[in-house]
Amino acid sequence: MTQVKLRRLDYKPLDFTATKVDLEIKLDLPVARVKNKIAIKRLNPQASSFVLNGQKLDLLALKINGQDWDKYTLDLVSEVDGFQNLTVDVSSLADASEFTLEVLNEFNLEENESMSGIYLSDQVIVSQCEAEGFRRISFYFDRPDCLAEFTTTIEAKKAYKYLLSNGNLIASGEVDQEWHYAKWHDPFPKPSYLFACVAGNFDLLEDTFVTKSGRQVQLKLFAEPGRLEQIKFAMQAIKRAMKWDEDRFGLEYDLDVFMIVGVGYFNAGAMENKGLNIFNDELLVGCKDTSTDNSLFLIDSVIAHEYFHNWTGDRVTCRDWFQLTLKEGLTVFRDQEYSSDTLDRTVKRIQDAATIQQYQFNEDKGPLSHPIRPDEVESQDNFYTSTVYEKGAEVIRLLHTLIGEENFQKGMKLYFARHDGKAVTCDDFVDAMADASGYNLDHFRLWYSQSGTPVVKVSSNYNADTKTQTLVFKQHTPPTFDQKEKQPLTLALKTQFLTADGRTLTNLESKDGNLVPEVIVFETEQYELELVNVPEELVVVTNLDFTSPVKIEQDLTSADLANIAANCQNFFAKYNAIRTYLNNIVAKNEAKFAQDPRAQLELDQDFKAIYGNLFAQARENASITAEILSLHNTSSLTGNAEKAYNPHAYNSISRAIEEKLCADYHEQLFQLYQELPFREWEYNAKHFGERALRRELIKILSRKPEYEYLVAELYDKATCFTDKFAALTAVFENNLTGLFSLKERYIQEYQEHTICLDRLLGLEIRSARSIEQVKEAVENAKQFSYTKPNSIYLLIGELARNYSLSFTYEWLDFLKELLIQVDKYNPGVSPHICRIFTEYNLYVEPYRSKLLNVIKELLSSQIQFSRNALEILTKGLQASEA
């Protein structure tokens, strides 16, 4: 199948647009019938026709101004995906400047397994329209630059107790003894991707929030029956987010009601539909007794993210999907700031930097590389990447660093003043920031159009005679698959200077007589800075707090790294020094562990200094210590790899490092473990840190038989799910066969909690020794379904971390068949499987060829893949041949 490329520069405004939409949706399973009455306005006086998008719809009738209209054509654009174009000719209409179009269509929602448009999630009818799902509901201008005021009437049988849509409820009641209806009006113009429709029977949790102007907003949370207690945390998260957005950004909620619905079958994590957010229930349902701290943190941050979209996404939206980072990068930055203010800023910064370093950097160097504002794509659904979201947020953070909080807030206010109610571009956002702050951001804009990871080489030369130290920062961005030519970018590097004995020197002077700034900013390929009156050679510690999303190359010795880890006042720098040290250990040991998985780990003398000091400071810095210990996980080690690697060697090195820590430090670690208190659960950074450290310590200690009893003891003493699951994880990861009875206890305790059972299934898949064991675990898991996105995400995520099976032919065949199966009904999920194969460039042989051969087999077959999957597989093959 030939793929059609969509290009950013080909954007053309609509000739006709919708200004008001009156939807009537009758949900009469298996069919949904939709009457869409659209007020249309002509924007281009020369235009005489327009195209409405559809997908797998049956057109029943079409009228203009109340009269039947037959001057149209309905074309099938794609047999595989069912895309349709409805072209309406209005050249014979007496007045085509403004008119009313009425379209009547229906579709079978029970046959819609794509989870796009309106579909069934168990017993709930729900919608998902971003990016192009509305065309599965009705023929429409299904693009983000068409903003209209929606009125929606939903009619369904009374078995569906709640009928929900965007905006405020303006009418509801009985149709007859069997049917009822609800009518909603959203006064704020919105694109079709923000439309939402829900019908179902839920538990409802209600509360109120009083805005800063004194308006009372109704808060309503809907979850599957039996989960009322488990959505109370989410309700508090909503109120925290609303208050924070008022305090930090001055943004107030605008409707009378804010609603969130949680459903079990949902491709995405959550969706910011205006006034009616729809969530994957994993990101809504949770409490201390059924969720880990990390899960609750995710619930809190995702609720904040989707709520923050009310302004950065809903009130001001994207002109086209190439501008996706306009709303997503900005809103990720906002939710990161919310989490930083709510819990621990340093820990959050470490975690966000790790996401970039371990995932996004890999995307940059692979076949799917693209800028945060891509220039071309074949499927809009493939825009939802770590680059667009997380790197997009880092670019916003860099902008914030450059102009400062006060100017950033001025820029936000100007942005809303100019563009409220409009669909705009990334350039419009940068324009507002430049105009409000007075900064020239012309060169900064390159971050939006250039792909790849900048590398900054930092060199330093100390002259003892003149007491000067010259620093040279030299940046370059390696070529990527999508772009060969690169230019220097605007960089901001927060920098500190350490003496050999660990003192931080401040107020240093440069040759021009000025104090050296805390943040060094440059936009040239090379930047030099000469320090004067320097008493001794200093260790340069740069890119503290990850102020720019770049890789730093610097000749730091193990002693330098130990100095930073022990003495630098910046905790991010401590973490990053140990991360760099571990990377060096892995590089030194990879070859021999590739030959012998039980090889002796080769370490230098600084290992003891680094870890001895780390554990000595652990009581005061539990959260940071936990983050550092998590660096030993195989997924962290591989994510931080600087070149193609042997995944099995890395897994063996991960095990060897933890065995070494257990052997050398078990007494100190045991003492530290014993001193960690079992507190009553609270949502705060201190308690999170203590439990996170306990999780890492029990995993290390239980490698030694004499400490295995601590695992069962932890399970029994646990005051929250976090500690219980930490114990169970240690059983599986360290293969503590004598404690497998904990699994049966766990099943008995959590048999009614699907999400908890999924967590156990994840451990079983990750520790399976054959694909047959994986299949058996899946078959025995009553909550698992091959049509459920959460199940597929769990399956492929844990299979990727199963180093006993990974890259075996049965592992590859299983994933290949899974892709073929899933892509037939849900092309929103199948790209996640494709990306396992297209990451071949991360690995040495024979792993690289094994993945690449799968891509070749799939593309040479007669299988008709969705455009989502086909684009990713094709790019994977093309990059290997470039």
Q: What is the DSSP string of 837-851?
A: HHTGGGB-TTHHHHH
| Tokens describing residue 871 | 């684009």
Distance (Å, whole) CA 305 – CA 245: 11
| Tokens describing residue 729 | 């994880």
**Who contacts 149 (Cβ-Cβ below 8 Å, separation ≥6)?**
19, 20, 21, 186, 187, 188, 189
| Tokens describing residue 520 | 């060094």
Proportion of the chain in helix, strand, coil states, percent, rounded to 5: 45, 25, 30
Return the bridge partners of 526, or none.
Answer: 474
Whether the bond between 677 and the residue before it is cis, its omega within 30 degrees of 0, is no
**Who contacts 101 (Cβ-Cβ below 8 Å, separation ≥6)?**
37, 38, 40, 62, 63, 64, 88
For residue 140, the 8-state DSSP code is B
Chain centroid, CA 586 distance in Å: 28
Distances (CA, A) of 673 to 71, 576, 654, 696, 700: 76, 24, 21, 10, 11
CA torsion through residues 691, 697, 700, 705, sign: negative
Bridge pairing between strands 98-108 and 31-42: antiparallel
Own/partner long-range contacts of 874-877 (Cβ < 8 Å, ≥24 apart): 874/3, 875/367, 875/368, 875/481, 875/838, 876/367, 876/368, 876/834, 876/837, 876/838, 876/840, 876/852, 877/852
Give me the active site residues, please: 306
CA torsion through residues 136, 138, 141, 147, sign: negative
CA torsion through residues 119, 122, 125, 129, sign: negative
H or E element at residue 633: none
Return the bridge partners of 195, or none.
Answer: none
Whether the CB-CB separation of 678 and 719 falls below 8 Å is answered with yes
H or E element at residue 758: helix 754-767
Distance (Å, whole) CA 547 – CA 858: 41
H or E element at residue 690: helix 685-701
Q: What is the DSSP string of 526-585?
A: EEEEEEES-SS--EEEESGGG-SS-EEEE---HHHHHHHHHH-S-HHHHHHHHHHHHHHH
For residue 390, the 8-state DSSP code is I
Q: How many CA atoms lie within 13 A of 266 on its CB side?
A: 24
Distance (Å, whole) CA 865 – CA 823: 7
Whether the CB-CB separation of 558 and 603 falls below 8 Å is answered with no
Q: What is the DSSP string of 112-124?
A: --S-SEEEEETTE
Rounded to 10 degrees, the C-alpha dihedral 415/418/424/426 comes to: -30
**Who contacts 734 (Cβ-Cβ below 8 Å, separation ≥6)?**
699, 702, 703
Distances (CA, A) of 582 to 603, 641, 660, 695: 10, 10, 13, 20
AA identity, residue 90: V
Whether the bond between 597 and the residue before it is cis, its omega within 30 degrees of 0, is no
